[in-house]
């Protein structure tokens, strides 16, 4: 039996699998199958189907084609691999739409025509089973799924007692990926609050944590295989993890040459509650993780009426206090040029009880944070994506989204102009040197680079420097959410592994 895993990439509230990240779904499935499976990406398939397998060189006036950027070692044999495949497992689904620098996740309407003529069994799994949408402010994508022999999330929603082995065995698919990857490590799933009106996580999983030793062994296996970039990102709140401090200590001890170790989602309430133990988790993150780290706060809204109506996790005052705490312990600049550990804030438009006052409240609290000299590394602003099964969908579908939709661009732009830009200048002043920035794509005569990490800042460099190499960059200017810089050193010590 020949199995092929087609990774169309995933993006969820608790987990990122869009390159340069490598998500958990294809790895676990490969481990479960426990044999030499083919791992291919949507980029491989696009290259074959749309360009006859020919990789075209980017002209000086063009932008890098990111639809065929994340190729595997199988790119030249895709036709043969798929002809010999007995079962094709398609991993797909975006629940938290974003902007991606060097990859575009596959959609159902894109992938179905490309696989419908394949003579094999086809299985769809991943978040797309509950719906998928590349753009905020829209319903999930509608598609005829009859091409698939089976559509199942549960089929590969493994018990953690089984993941113990699958995660280690499945790590070997990294051998089929020639480029560097940030390995997304799952520590748990489900949400201990689990009531946010828009969130799909409670639909997929109950609250459960992996054993500490299982997580550690998976990281050690990837480390043995050459991986050096990790994020403990696939959980709804890192601070809820029962063994957070011990895990960080043991990763540091067992994998001394890790280049990047970051976390992702954090509930601000848990940061404030950590005061009861003298902020031991915050201190451990600062001590054992690498700098440039961000705790993504799912604040969603600073309007208390919206918080209550959508049963959100965090009232504004608590979010503000959590921002202060991370600034107190994490604002020091680390060796990569970035502060060690700062908060990030997520804002969502289109929730229940949203009004013009909502934007005023968001600006009031964000302005207070800025005026008090505090730092927020990034503010993610998006329109809510609406999925069946959520309470927001069940109560009027998109009626709340439609109410103020004409104001969203204005609201977002005011936050970008009045908060993002001056905040960026505070966090990364002129002349700061950001080390080990990876050159990812060209856009005409500009090369876009960024460090590996959680929500790394994009730096535009004039000229077309060699891609997929590391550089130290001195910052020369600030855009709304990005930077410009010049090369001061090519970091030879960090060549591809």
Tens digit of each residue's pLDDT (9 = 90 or more) over 82-138: 999 999 999 999 988 888 999 999 999 999 999 999 999 999 999 999 999 888 777
* Residue at 164 is within a domain: no
Looking at 427, 448, 466, which one is the last position of a domain? 427
* Residue at 161 is within a domain: no
Look at the alpha carbons of 127, 344, 295, 346 in this order and tell me if their dihedral is positive or negative. negative
Asked if pLDDT for residue 177 goes beyond 50, the answer is yes
Q: Where are the beta strands (DSSP E) in 249-352?
A: 260-263, 265-266, 293-300, 341-349
- 150 and 260 assigned to the same domain: no
In angstroms, rounded to a whole number, what is the distance separating the alpha carbons of residues 399 and 387? 13
Per DSSP bridges, beta strands 293-300 and 265-266 are: parallel
Say what the pLDDT of residue 193 is. 76
- 316 and 459 assigned to the same domain: no
- 297 and 194 assigned to the same domain: yes
Torsion, CA 256, CA 259, CA 265, CA 267, rounded to 10 = 60
Confidence of residue 491 (pLDDT cuts 50, 70, 90): low
The parent domain of residue 44 ranges over 3-156
User: Averaged over 410-429, what is the pLDDT?
Assistant: 97
Q: Is residue 68 within 8 Å of residue 38, measured between CB atoms?
A: no
- 327 and 189 assigned to the same domain: yes
- 201 and 324 assigned to the same domain: yes
Strand partners, 139: 386
Share of the chain above pLDDT 70, in %: 98
Confidence of residue 260 (pLDDT cuts 50, 70, 90): very high
In angstroms, rounded to a whole number, what is the distance separating the alpha carbons of residues 12 and 132? 10
Least confident among 309-313, 383-387, 403-407:
383-387
Q: Is residue 173 within 8 Å of residue 39, measured between CB atoms?
A: yes
φ, ψ for residue 102 (rounded to 5)?
-130, 25
- 112 and 17 assigned to the same domain: yes
Asked if pLDDT for residue 164 goes beyond 80, the answer is yes
* Residue at 169 is within a domain: no
- 400 and 325 assigned to the same domain: yes
Say what the pLDDT of residue 495 is. 40
Say what the pLDDT of residue 242 is. 95
- 243 and 390 assigned to the same domain: yes
Share of the chain above pLDDT 90, in %: 84
DSSP assignment, residue 311? T
* Residue at 174 is within a domain: no
Say what the pLDDT of residue 497 is. 34
Q: Is residue 331 within 8 Å of residue 278, measured between CB atoms?
A: no
Alpha helices by DSSP H, listed for 372-445, are 391-394, 399-403, 408-415, 421-427
Number of domains in the chain: 3
* Residue at 167 is within a domain: no
- Identify the CATH number of the domain in which residue 485 sits: 2.40.50.140
Confidence of residue 198 (pLDDT cuts 50, 70, 90): confident
The strands making up 378-383's β-sheet, listed across from edge to edge, are 265-266, 293-300, 341-349, 378-383
Confidence of residue 496 (pLDDT cuts 50, 70, 90): very low
* Residue at 222 is within a domain: yes
Looking at 427, 446, 467, which one is the last position of a domain? 427
* Residue at 63 is within a domain: yes
Looking at 374, 393, 427, which one is the last position of a domain? 427
Say what the pLDDT of residue 493 is. 46
DSSP assignment, residue 118? -
* Residue at 66 is within a domain: yes
- 307 and 447 assigned to the same domain: no
- 332 and 239 assigned to the same domain: yes
φ, ψ for residue 4 (rounded to 5)?
-130, 130
- 50 and 66 assigned to the same domain: yes
- 417 and 442 assigned to the same domain: no
Say what the pLDDT of residue 494 is. 43
DSSP for 8-52, written as a single string = EEEEETTEE-STTEE-HHHHHHHHHHTS--EEEEHHHHHHHHHHT
Per DSSP bridges, beta strands 433-443 and 470-478 are: antiparallel
Mean pLDDT over the full length of the chain: 94
């Amino acid at each position: 039996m020949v199995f092929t895993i087609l990774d169309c990439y995933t993006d969820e509230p608790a987990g990122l699998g869009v390159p340069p990240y490598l998500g958990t779904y294809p790895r676990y499935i490969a481990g479960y199958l426990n044999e030499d499976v083919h791992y291919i990406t949507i980029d491989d398939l696009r290259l074959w189907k749309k360009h006859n397998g020919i990789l075209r060189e980017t002209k000086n006036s063009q932008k890098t084609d990111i639809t065929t950027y994340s190729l595997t070692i199988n790119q030249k044999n895709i036709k043969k691999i798929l002809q010999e495949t007995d079962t094709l497992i398609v991993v797909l689904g975006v629940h938290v739409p974003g902007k991606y620098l060097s990859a575009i996740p596959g959609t159902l309407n894109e992938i179905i025509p490309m696989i419908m003529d394949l003579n094999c069994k086809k299985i769809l799994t991943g978040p797309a089973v509950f719906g998928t949408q590349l753009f905020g402010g829209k319903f999930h994508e509608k598609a005829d799924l009859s091409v698939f022999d089976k559509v199942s999330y549960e089929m590969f929603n493994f018990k953690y007692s089984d993941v113990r082995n699958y995660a280690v065995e499945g790590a070997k698919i990294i051998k089929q990926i020639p480029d560097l990857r940030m390995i997304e490590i799952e520590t748990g799933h489900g949400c201990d609050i689990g009531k946010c009106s828009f969130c799909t996580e409670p639909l997929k999983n109950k609250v459960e944590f992996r054993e500490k030793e299982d997580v550690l062994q998976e990281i050690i296996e990837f480390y043995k295989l050459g991986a050096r970039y990790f994020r403990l990102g696939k959980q709804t709140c890192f601070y809820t993890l029962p063994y957070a401090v011990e895990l960080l200590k043991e990763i540091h001890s067992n994998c001394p040459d890790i280049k990047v170790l970051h976390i992702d989602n954090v509930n601000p309430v848990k940061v404030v509650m950590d005061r009861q133990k003298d902020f031991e988790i915050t201190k451990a993150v600062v001590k054992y993780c690498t700098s440039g780290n961000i705790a993504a706060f799912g604040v969603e809204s600073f309007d208390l009426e919206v918080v209550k109506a959508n049963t959100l996790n965090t009232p504004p005052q608590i979010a503000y206090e959590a921002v202060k705490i991370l600034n107190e312990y994490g604002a020091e600049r680390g060796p990569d040029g970035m502060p060690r550990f700062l908060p990030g804030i997520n804002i969502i438009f289109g929730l229940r009880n949203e009004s013009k006052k909502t934007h005023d409240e968001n600006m009031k609290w964000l302005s207070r944070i800025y005026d008090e000299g505090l730092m927020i590394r990034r503010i993610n602003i998006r329109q809510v994506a609406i999925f069946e099964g959520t309470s927001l969908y069940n109560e009027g579908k998109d009626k709340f989204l439609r109410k103020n939709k004409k104001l969203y661009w204005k609201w977002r732009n005011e936050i970008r102009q009045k908060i993002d830009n001056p905040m960026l200048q505070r966090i990364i002043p002129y002349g700061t040197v950001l080390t080990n920035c990876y050159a990812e794509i060209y856009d005409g005569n500009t090369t876009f680079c960024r460090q590996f990490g959680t929500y790394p800042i994009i730096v535009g460099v004039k000229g077309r420097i060699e891609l997929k190499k590391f550089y130290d960059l001195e910052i020369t200017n600030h855009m709304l959410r990005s930077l410009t810089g010049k090369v001061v050193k090519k970091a030879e010590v960090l060549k591809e592994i």
